[in-house]
Amino acid sequence: MIPLSWYLILSGLLFLIGLLAVLIRKNSIGILMGIELILNAANINLLAFWRYLYANSGDHRGQMFVIVVFVVAAAEAAVGLAMIISAYRRKNTIVANEINELKG
Amino acid sequence: MSFIADPIPFIITWLTRTMTSWGWPSEIVTVILYVLGALLLTVGAMVFTTMLIWAERKIGGRFQDRPGPNRVGPWGIFQTIADMLKIFTKEFITPVGADKVPYNLAPVLAVAAVLCVWAVLPFSKTVFGSNIGVGLLFLIAVGGLGEVAIILAGFGSNNKYALLGAFRAVAQLLSYEVPMVIVLLIPVMLTGSMGMNDIVAAQKIPFIVLAPVAGMIFFTSLIAENGRAPFDLIEADSELVAGYNIEYSGLKFGFFFVADFLHAFTSALIFATLFLGGWQGPGATNIPILGFIYLLIKTALVYFVMLALRFSLPRFRIDQMMNLNWKFLTPLALFTFMTTAVVNKVLPAGENLLRIGGLLAVNVVLWLIANWAMSSYMVRIPRPVVSGPRPVAVGEKKQAPKEEVAS
Amino acid sequence: MAHEWLYLGIFLMLALAVPALALIIAGLLSPKKPNTIKNSTYECGMETVGSSWIQFKVQYYIYGLVFLIFDVETVLLYPWAVAYNRVSLFGTLEAVLFVLILTGGLWYVWRKGVLEWA
Amino acid sequence: MSPQQFFFIITAVVILVSALMTVITRKMMHSALWFVLALLGVAVIFALLEASFFAVVQVLVYVGAIAILIIFSVMLTRKAMEDTGSQVNKTWVISLLIVNLTAIGGFLAFRSWEVLGTFPTALMAEHYDIGELGMALIDPERFALPFEVTSILLLAALVGAIYIAFQRKEGKK
In a domain, B54, yes or no: no
Contact C16 B132 (CB under 8 A): no
In a domain, C41, yes or no: yes
Check: CB of residue D161 under 8 Å from CB of residue C65: yes
In a domain, A76, yes or no: yes
In chain A, what is the straight-line distance between the N-terminal and C-terminal CA atoms, in Å? 55
Does the pLDDT value for residue B116 go beyond 60? yes
H or E segment and range at residue B361: helix B352-380
In a domain, D146, yes or no: yes
Contact C11 B116 (CB under 8 A): yes
**Rounded distance, CA B367 to CA B38, Å?**
42
| Structure confidence at residue B403 as a pLDDT band (50, 70, 90) | very low
pLDDT tens digit sequence for A13-23: 999 899 888 88
Cross-chain CB nearest to C68 (options A74, A85, A89): A74
pLDDT tens digit sequence for D151-166: 899 999 999 988 888 7
In a domain, C12, yes or no: yes
CATH code, domain with C33: 1.20.58.1610
In a domain, B241, yes or no: yes
Over residues B263-283, the mean pLDDT reads 88
Over residues D127-143, the mean pLDDT reads 80
Phi then psi for B382, rounded to 5 degrees?
Answer: -70, 130
Closest alpha carbon to C23 in A74, D13, B123, B256: B256
Does the pLDDT value for residue B134 go beyond 60? yes
Position B33 scores a pLDDT of 85
Give all chains having 3 or more CB-to-CB distances under 8 Å with chain B.
Answer: C, D
Query: What is the distance of C-alpha C73 from the center of its chain?
Result: 16
Q: Is residue C108 within 8 angstroms of chain B, CB to CB?
A: no
Check: CB of residue A84 under 8 Å from CB of residue D162: no
In a domain, B34, yes or no: no
- Cis preceding linkage at B187, omega within 30: no
Position B361 scores a pLDDT of 87
For B65-79, C24-38, C47-61, C79-93, which range has the lowest pLDDT when averaged over its residues? Answer: C47-61
Position B404 scores a pLDDT of 44
User: Total structural domains in chain B?
Assistant: 1
**Rounded distance, CA D133 to CA D57, Å?**
14
Q: Mean of the per-residue pLDDT values for chain B?
A: 83
| Structure confidence at residue A43 as a pLDDT band (50, 70, 90) | very high
**Rounded distance, CA B323 to CA B327, Å?**
5
Contact B137 C4 (CB under 8 A): no
For A81-90, B212-221, B237-246, B267-276, which range has the lowest pLDDT when averaged over its residues? Answer: B237-246
Cross-chain CB nearest to C82 (options D79, D134, D159): D134
Does the pLDDT value for residue D2 go beyond 90? no
Q: Is residue C35 within 8 angstroms of chain B, CB to CB?
A: no
In a domain, A88, yes or no: yes
Contact C58 A85 (CB under 8 A): yes
pLDDT tens digit sequence for B337-358: 998 888 888 887 777 788 888 8
Does the pLDDT value for residue B102 go beyond 70? yes
Does the pLDDT value for residue B217 go beyond 70? yes
In a domain, B80, yes or no: no
* Separation in Å, CA of B145 to nearest CA in chain D: 7
Q: Which of D68, D129, D138, D162 to mutate to test the interface with B (most CBs of B within 10 A)?
A: D68
Residue of chain C nearest A80, judged by CA positions:
C65
Position B22 scores a pLDDT of 83
Does the pLDDT value for residue D171 go beyond 60? no
Interchain contact A/D (3 or more Cβ pairs less than 8 Å): yes
Does the pLDDT value for residue D15 go beyond 90? yes
Does the pLDDT value for residue B46 go beyond 80? yes
Over residues D29-48, the mean pLDDT reads 90
Strand ranges in D71-127 using DSSP code E only, listed in sequence order: none
Position C47 scores a pLDDT of 63
Q: Is residue B309 within 8 angstroms of chain C, CB to CB?
A: no
User: Total structural domains in chain C?
Assistant: 1
Kindly provide the b/e burial profile for residues B78-89, where b requires at least 16 CB atoms within 10 angstroms of the residue's own CB: bbbbebbeebee
DSSP-derived secondary structure for C51-112: -S-----HHHHHHHHHHHHHHHHHHHHHHHHHTGGGS-HHHHHHHHHHHHHHHHHHHHHHHH
Contact B178 C5 (CB under 8 A): no
**Rounded distance, CA D75 to CA C64, Å?**
13
pLDDT tens digit sequence for B51-94: 888 888 888 888 888 888 888 878 888 888 888 888 888 888 88
Does the pLDDT value for residue B6 go beyond 70? yes
In a domain, A60, yes or no: yes
In a domain, C118, yes or no: no
CATH code, domain with A60: 1.10.287.3510
Position B179 scores a pLDDT of 92
For B212-226, C104-118, D18-32, which range has the lowest pLDDT when averaged over its residues? Answer: C104-118
Contact B151 D71 (CB under 8 A): yes
| Structure confidence at residue B400 as a pLDDT band (50, 70, 90) | very low
Q: Is residue D98 within 8 angstroms of chain A, CB to CB?
A: yes
**Rounded distance, CA B335 to CA C96, Å?**
10
Position A71 scores a pLDDT of 92
User: What percentage of chain D carries pLDDT values higher than 70?
Assistant: 88
In a domain, C117, yes or no: no
- Specify the length of chain D in residues: 173
Does the pLDDT value for residue B189 go beyond 70? yes
User: Total structural domains in chain A?
Assistant: 1
Position B302 scores a pLDDT of 92
Kindly provide the b/e burial profile for residues B332-345, where b requires at least 16 CB atoms within 10 angstroms of the residue's own CB: bbbbbbbbbbbbbb
Contact B160 C52 (CB under 8 A): yes
In chain D, what is the straight-line distance between the N-terminal and C-terminal CA atoms, in Å? 68
Cross-chain CB nearest to D68 (options B102, B133, B174): B174
In a domain, A101, yes or no: no
User: What percentage of chain D carries pLDDT values higher than 90?
Assistant: 16
Cross-chain CB nearest to D39 (options A16, A40, A76): A40
List, in order, residues 6 or more apart from B303 with CB less than 8 Å away.
B264, B265, B268
**Rounded distance, CA B266 to CA B264, Å?**
5
Q: Could you list the residue range(s) of the whole structural domain that residue D76 is in?
A: 1-82
**Rounded distance, CA B248 to CA B107, Å?**
9
User: What percentage of chain B carries pLDDT values higher than 70?
Assistant: 91
Between the CA atoms of B328, B330, B332 and B335, what dihedral angle is there, to the nearest 10 degrees? -150
| Structure confidence at residue D38 as a pLDDT band (50, 70, 90) | very high
Q: Could you list the residue range(s) of the whole structural domain that residue B97 is in?
A: 90-380
Single-letter residue type at B231: F
> Are D76 and D129 part of one and the same domain?
no
ipTM above 0.90 for this complex: no
pLDDT tens digit sequence for B287-305: 888 888 888 999 999 999 9
User: Total structural domains in chain D?
Assistant: 2
Cross-chain CB nearest to D137 (options C64, C75, C79): C79
**Rounded distance, CA B253 to CA B265, Å?**
19
Check: CB of residue D38 under 8 Å from CB of residue D22: yes
* Separation in Å, CA of A69 to nearest CA in chain C: 11
Give all chains having 3 or more CB-to-CB distances under 8 Å with chain D.
Answer: A, B, C
Strand ranges in B240-347 using DSSP code E only, listed in sequence order: none
Over residues C54-81, the mean pLDDT reads 85
Position A39 scores a pLDDT of 93
Position C46 scores a pLDDT of 61
Position B277 scores a pLDDT of 84
DSSP-derived secondary structure for A35-82: HHHHHHHHHHHHHHHIIIIIGGGT--HHHHHHHHHHHHHHHHHHHHHH
Structure-model confidence comparison of residues A78 and D89, the more confident one: A78
| Structure confidence at residue A42 as a pLDDT band (50, 70, 90) | very high
Q: Mean of the per-residue pLDDT values for chain C?
A: 82
pLDDT tens digit sequence for D75-132: 887 766 555 556 677 777 888 888 888 888 888 887 777 777 777 777 776 667 788 8
Position D169 scores a pLDDT of 55
Interchain contact D/B (3 or more Cβ pairs less than 8 Å): yes
Residue of chain D nearest B193, judged by CA positions:
D131
Does the pLDDT value for residue A103 go beyond 80? no
Position B38 scores a pLDDT of 87
Position B198 scores a pLDDT of 86
Does the pLDDT value for residue B219 go beyond 90? yes
CB atoms near residue B142 (< 10 Å): 24
User: DSSP H helical segments within C30-57, as ranges?
Assistant: 36-39
In a domain, A104, yes or no: no
Cross-chain CB nearest to C76 (options A67, A82, A89): A67
pLDDT tens digit sequence for B356-399: 888 888 888 888 888 888 888 777 766 666 566 655 555 444 44
Q: Is residue B174 within 8 angstroms of chain D, CB to CB?
A: yes
